Amino acid sequence: MVEGGTHPWLTIVGIGEDGPDGLSAASRVAIARADWLTGAARHLALLPDGGGERAPWPVPFADGIAPLLARRGRRVVMLVSGDPFWFGAGSVVARHLSPDEWVAHPAPSTFALVAARLGWAIEETRCLGLHAAPLARLRPHLAPGRRIVATLRDGAAVKALATHLTDEGFGDSMLHVCEAMGGPRERIRHVHAGAYAVDDARHPVAVAIAVAGAGPVLPAAAGLPDEWFAHDGQITRRPVRALTLSSLAPRPGETLWDIGAGSGSIGIEWLLADPANRALAFEADPVRAARARANAASLGVERLRVIDGRAPDALAGHPPPDAIFIGGGLSDALLRWLWQHLPAGTRLVANAVTLESEALAMQWQAVKGGDLLRIDLSTVTPIGTRRGWRAHFPVVQWSVTL
Closest CA to 330 of 395, 376, 387, 389: 395
At residue 293, the pLDDT reads 97
Name the DSSP letter for residue 351: E
What is the pairing mode between strands 386-391 and 378-383?
Answer: antiparallel
Homologous superfamily assigned to 10-107:
Tetrapyrrole methylase, N-terminal domain (3.40.1010.10)
Provide φ and ψ at 89, rounded to 5°: -85, -10
- Separation CA 115–CA 126 (nearest Å): 11
Residues 6+ apart with CB under 8 A from 100: 2, 3, 4, 6, 8
Give pLDDT tens digits along the chain (402 positions). 334 345 799 999 999 888 888 888 999 999 999 999 999 998 999 888 878 899 999 989 999 999 999 999 999 999 999 999 998 889 999 999 999 999 999 999 999 999 999 999 999 999 999 988 999 999 999 999 999 999 999 999 999 999 999 999 999 999 999 999 998 999 999 999 999 999 999 999 999 999 999 999 999 999 999 999 999 988 888 999 999 999 999 999 999 999 999 999 999 999 999 999 999 999 999 999 999 999 999 999 999 999 999 999 999 999 999 999 999 889 999 999 999 999 999 999 999 999 999 999 999 999 999 999 999 999 999 999 999 999 999 999 999 999
User: Residue 105: which of 74, 75, 84, 76 has the closest Cα?
Assistant: 84
pLDDT at 52: 87
Rounded CA-CA distance 230/244 in Å is 19
The side-by-side arrangement of strands in the sheet containing 255-259 is 305-308, 278-283, 255-259, 323-326, 347-352, 395-401, 371-375
What per-residue confidence (pLDDT) applies to 204?
92
For 173-193, b/e burial (b = at least 16 CB within 10 A) is bebbbbbbbbbeeeeeeebbb
Residue 289's pLDDT is what? 96
pTM score: 0.90
Q: Which CATH architecture has domain 111-210?
A: 2-Layer Sandwich (3.30)
- Domains in the chain: boundaries: 10-107, 111-210, 226-401
The pLDDT of residue 19: 81
Assess contact for 317 and 341: CB atoms under 8 A: no
Residue 296 to residues 150, 158, 179, 267, 327, Cα–Cα distance (Å): 20, 23, 31, 9, 17
Number of C-beta neighbours around residue 30 at 10 A: 22
The pLDDT, as a whole number, for residue 6 is 56
CA distances from 28 to 11, 53, 93, 305 (A): 11, 16, 21, 44
CATH fold of 226-401 reads Rossmann fold (3.40.50)
In 3-state terms, what secondary structure has residue 204? coil
